[in-house]
Amino acid sequence: DVKVTQSSRYLVKRTGEKVFLECVQDMDHENMFWYRQDPGLGLRLIYFSYDVKMKEKGDIPEGYSVSREKKERFSLILESASTNQTSMYLCASSLNWVAGLAKNIQYFGAGTRLSVL
Amino acid sequence: KQEVTQIPAALSVPEGENLVLNCSFTDSAIYNLQWFRQDPGKGLTSLLLIQSSQREQTSGRLNASLDKSSGRSTLYIAASQPGDSATYLCAVLGGSNYQLIWGAGTKLIIKP
């Protein structure tokens, strides 16, 4: 079974702190994603990566950055946390799209609930 | 721009009933449609994936259908159980950047 592990289930940080959210997958997936989930808004894509050291902006990249130094690890960085970044953060991974788009499934971690005070 | 809508936002039914959750999308140019389940405070679990060339998929008591021409999908849950209580999300894979576009979910409560 695919396993996507997020390092923390709950985090409480103060405004202005630098925050690192870590995600590791064990299925040798090329693609990795970071989403945030807010009530009534569904999932919104922050960044994704389709290869080591590659990154692409999603729909809401402002205030975030990412790092992918190894294939299995994708980090989300909040350079200076703000209260409007309080949210549930979800990491996902999938096979590369060349393996077939029609059957492409994303596998999710358990999520990190971040509170910025 | 693709938009995905799920109606209703919340649904409460007695145990044992059959029920249908709805998902609609505005652009029929999709590669697949996926249904996910999310338990409170948890991540997402993939339930069913329907490829664009398919009309339906079944897994146990779950059956999902896809009608691309009308931009609709339904998730049918037979003989509902309290353990089915969760939020159900649908998402479509499409567009030039191959990203999932998500509905906001339907929160389902099955009353014992």
Cis peptide before B8 (omega within 30 of 0): yes
Buried b / exposed e over A85-107, threshold 16 CB at 10 Å, is: bbbbbbbbbbbeeeeeeeebbbb
pLDDT digits (tens, 9 = 90+) for B71-83: 999 999 999 999 9
Please state, rounded to an integer, the average pLDDT across all residues of chain A. Answer: 92
pLDDT digits (tens, 9 = 90+) for B32-43: 999 999 998 888
Sign of CA dihedral A75, A24, A51, B45: negative
Q: Residue B72: what pLDDT?
A: 97
CA distance B72 to B70: 6
Residues of B in contact with A87 (CB under 8 A): none
Q: Does A66 touch chain B (CB under 8 A)?
A: no
pLDDT digits (tens, 9 = 90+) for A83-109: 999 999 999 999 887 767 777 889 999
